[in-house]
């Protein structure tokens, strides 16, 4: 991997290992995996904290990471790499699941609360700020009281496969826009309403 200082650090959130690969909580990993594959890159493991891949996109160096700490300690890996690169939190983009959105919806914003998401809470705690970017990917809210953990750690159902694939594709387009034009302009692409299917 190149050691050039990136303009943006894009971190997908998830849990490592085959057991969690296709679960709702791992949509952040799925998105960065898809975009890194699209760029023809290969992940390189760095110690026991994260995997990384780096590319130059339209003249701008961008680095992608996947924390290997499990979701609830995601911030440790992100803080370490952010500090190594000499970046501020405003140059960090976290790709994560969001159960308050229907499956398929994506939304990019800077700052805000954790919304009860343990991975985002960890990033906020480790970076000592909420002013990083979040690309939130909808996983819907089809669970009852006390069922959240089992829900997010379950695989997406087969009848949502097309919506998930489309969401990943659109999220990759947003990452491309972040890399080439910056997150402020990418918000326009990310936050457009989902177009309903034609007749």
Tens-place pLDDT, residues 76-130? 999 999 999 999 999 999 999 999 999 999 999 999 888 889 999 999 999 999 9
Lowest mean per-residue pLDDT among 48-52, 126-130, 167-171, 182-186 = 182-186
Query: Structure tokens of 189?
Result: 């692409």
Average pLDDT over residues 135-143: 95
Task: Select from 2.60.40.10, 3.40.50.1470, 2.60.120.650, 3.40.50.620 the CATH code of 8-190.
Answer: 3.40.50.1470
Domain ranges of the chain: 8-190
Q: Give me the pLDDT at residue 60, please.
A: 86
- The pLDDT > 70 percentage for the chain reads 95
pLDDT tens-digit series, residues 34-49 = 999 999 999 999 999 9
Q: Which two tokens stand for residue 92?
A: 């960090």
Q: What is the rounded CA–CA span in Å between residue 133 and residue 28?
A: 13
Q: Burial, 70: exposed, middle or buried (Cβ in 10 Å; 0-12, 13-18, 19+)?
A: middle
Burial of 86 (0-12, 13-18, 19+ CB in 10 A): exposed
Say whether pLDDT at 189 is over 90: no
Of the pLDDT bands very low, low, confident and very high (cuts 50, 70, 90), residue 3 is: low
CA distance 8 to 22: 26
Active site residue 25: yes
> Other CB atoms closer than 10 Å to residue 84's CB: what's the count?
12
Contact 127, 78 (CB under 8 A): yes
pLDDT grade for 157, boundaries at 50, 70 and 90: very high
Task: Look up the pTM and report it.
Answer: 0.93
């Amino acid at each position: 991997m190149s050691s050039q200082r990136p303009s943006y650090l894009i971190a997908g959130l998830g849990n490592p290992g085959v057991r969690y690969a296709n679960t709702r909580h791992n949509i952040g990993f799925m998105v960065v995996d898809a975009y890194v594959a699209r760029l023809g890159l290969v992940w390189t493991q760095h110690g026991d904290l994260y995997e990384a891949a780096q590319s130059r996109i339209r003249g701008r160096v961008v680095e992608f990471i996947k924390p290997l700490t499990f979701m609830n300690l995601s911030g440790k890996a992100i803080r370490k790499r952010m500090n190594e690169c000499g970046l501020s939190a405003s140059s960090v983009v976290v790709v994560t699941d969001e159960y308050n959105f229907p499956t398929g919806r994506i939304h990019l914003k800077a700052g805000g609360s954790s919304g009860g998401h343990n991975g985002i809470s960890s990033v906020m705690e480790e970076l000592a700020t909420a002013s990083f970017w979040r690309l939130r990917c909808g996983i819907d809210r089809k669970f009852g009281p006390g069922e959240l953990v089992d829900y997010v750690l379950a695989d997406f159902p087969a009848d949502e496969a097309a919506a998930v694939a489309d969401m990943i594709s659109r999220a990759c387009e947003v990452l491309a826009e972040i890399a080439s034009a910056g997150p402020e302009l990418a918000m326009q692409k990310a936050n457009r309403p989902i177009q309903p299917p034609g007749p």
